[in-house]
Structure 1
Amino acid sequence: MTSAIPPRPRRPLRALAWAGVTAAVVLAFWSIEVNWGRLADLPAEVVRYLWLMFSDPNWEKLPEALWQTWRSIEMAWVGTVLSILVATPLSLVAARGYGPAWLRALLRGLFSLIRAVPEIIIAIVILSVTGLTPFTGALALAVNGIGTLGKWGYEAVEAVPAGPIEAARAAGGSTTEVLRWGVWPQAAPAFWSFWLYRFEINVRSSAVLGLIGVGGIGDMLTSYTQYREWATVGVLLIVVVAATVLVDAASGAIRRRITEGGNIRVTR
């Protein structure tokens, strides 16, 4: 006895969504007026500029490049610390079950709004008050970090196992005590990992903020690129890449140590 194969379910909403996405992609390519003929010249242009930058780098600018890179890292560090101090308590309140519904919705909406605005736009708004200083870049990174760390934080709080939380509540603990003894010991490794990852992001973003003149290695890159001093630009790119790789490697090693724990040695 053979059973009839059930008909394939129809999903008109999904088909409409895919049609809308396809139409948006086609219209985007149609409206930007890409000169497809120049794409054939792109590989040769890339090779030419790489040769100009790296065939004979201007190593005389290396000390200044290292100093400006250090300023960018300082900018990223200050921005990360400020965002941690603000976002951590707000993320705990924004988690489900630890704050009133109206406040939770307000904070989550604020986090989403902040994440929607790029750091460079935030810096342009802030510099009208603080001026073109590295502190402006640090504040812009801090504001943007509040949006991401706030979201990651309340998601981490909501993902912790419920056992210790229920035990703390059964013992008569207040909301603050439940967060301190039931939530934080379990969520702390995730928070530390988020903080370090945000620092990595800020190191890269600090170079981009130099485009508006807030200092750091990005400011040097903008200046020497405008004057077509490609030999110096090559040195700056080498320093930027090396510093970013070193920061990412160190931060990644620390994050793995926090989330996975140390290796256990068995002695006999």
Structure 2
Amino acid sequence: MTAATLTAARPVVAAPARPRRLAVRAVQGGATAVVLAAVLHLRLDWAALRDLPSDLVRYLGLMFAHPDWSRLPYALEQTWVSVQMAWLGALLGVVVSTVLGVPAARGVGPWWLRLPLRAVFAVVRAVPEVIIAIVILTVTGLTPFTGALALAIGGVGTHARWTYETIEGVPPGTAEAVRAAGGNLFETARWGLWPAAAPELMSLALYRFELNVRTSAILGLIGVGGVGDLLTGYTQYRQWDAVGVLIVVVVVVTMAIDAVSGAIRRRITKGARARVVEGTE
């Protein structure tokens, strides 16, 4: 066979078309224009930005050079109030999210129930917990219970989504078997889906509590109690030595809760670590 014959028999491979960059460049240009417009609209004080590092060092010195440790007991008490607020909000939110999130999963609830539930979750996710607290405080007043309710309602949007996404990730075999045996929606969720999804859902519940601990400090800024409320009062009266103590307490308590919760979540999802017993080899 000649070289000409081989060349003729070889298939002709066309070069791929060059990708069009017009849409990508248009999006990049639009994002740049939005950022520039935002910077110009804010009318930033560039002189203040220039002095920001020195001011930050000065205030850090005021807070941590000579902290007032006599405020430590009260700071711990208010931090405990924030933790209680976070725990109650997580408990209420997880229960409601589980009850509503399971029928919102694909393959569990009918479409006429699943779609409205997901729309409600999306609306709740769009509203910050601070706004929810401002709305409900007209009924419950400026109390830690208001903060717990705001955390519970605000957490439903996100946690319910985690719930139905976890349920949708469960292998459908067991649920189909329960449904084929005549099981209703509750029985399918209880016996077909819950045993496989429970470890991941419990891990997400603990993670919800971790998030609520941080958010509870922010809710305290509007006066519902807890460490955020105390931080606002100390800052307004320029009691920087007390602010330093409060920040130390918040950081230490938050890190401790994260460490303990993270260890529990790893134990739930991955199980206990295997240990080698001496004399077994």
Name 1:95's counterpart in structure 2.
105
**Counterpart pick for 1:134 among 135, 144, 156:** 144
**Aligned-pair CA distance for 1:139:** 0.5
Write out per-residue CA displacement over residues 186-216 of structure 1, whole angstroms, 9 at most, x where no aligned residue.
Answer: 1111111111011001111111111111111
* Alpha-carbon distance in 2 for matches of 1:47, 1:13: 45
User: Would the alpha carbon gap of residues 262 and 226 (structure 1) be closer, same or farther in structure 2, given more than 3 Å must change?
Assistant: same
Say whether 1:116 aligns with 2:126: yes
* Alpha-carbon distance in 2 for matches of 1:129, 1:146: 20
Name 1:194's counterpart in structure 2.
204
Say whether 1:125 aligns with 2:135: yes
Paired amino acid for 1:244: T
* Alpha-carbon distance in 1 for matches of 2:15, 2:239: 70
Matches within 5 A, 1:1-268: 3-10=13-20, 12-267=22-277, 268=280
- Which range moved further: 160-169 or 191-200? 160-169
* Alpha-carbon distance in 2 for matches of 1:13, 1:94: 36
Paired amino acid for 1:121: I
Paired amino acid for 2:254: T
Unaligned runs of 5+ in 2: 1-6
The number of residues matched between the two structures is 268
Name the larger-Rg structure. Answer: 2
- % same residue: 58
Write out per-residue CA displacement over residues 14-36 of structure 1, whole angstroms, 9 at most, x where no aligned residue.
Answer: 44433332322222222111122
- Which range moved further: 164-173 or 236-245? 164-173
* Alpha-carbon distance in 1 for matches of 2:98, 2:21: 42
- Which range moved further: 9-18 or 101-110? 9-18
Secondary structure, in 3 states, of the residue corresponding to 1:93? coil
User: Would the alpha carbon gap of residues 17 and 103 (structure 1) be closer, same or farther in structure 2, given more than 3 Å must change?
Assistant: farther
Write out per-residue CA displacement over residues 42-77 of structure 1, whole angstroms, 9 at most, x where no aligned residue.
Answer: 111110000000000001110000000001100101
Unaligned runs of 5+ in 1: none
Paired amino acid for 1:37: A
Write out per-residue CA displacement over residues 63-109 of structure 1, whole angstroms, 9 at most, x where no aligned residue.
Answer: 00000000110010111111112110100011112222122111111
* Alpha-carbon distance in 2 for matches of 1:20, 1:105: 33
* Alpha-carbon distance in 1 for matches of 2:75, 2:155: 26
* Alpha-carbon distance in 2 for matches of 1:173, 1:28: 56
User: Would the alpha carbon gap of residues 12 and 176 (structure 1) be closer, same or farther in structure 2, given more than 3 Å must change?
Assistant: farther
Write out per-residue CA displacement over residues 125-173 of structure 1, whole angstroms, 9 at most, x where no aligned residue.
Answer: 1110011111010000010011111111011111111232233334443
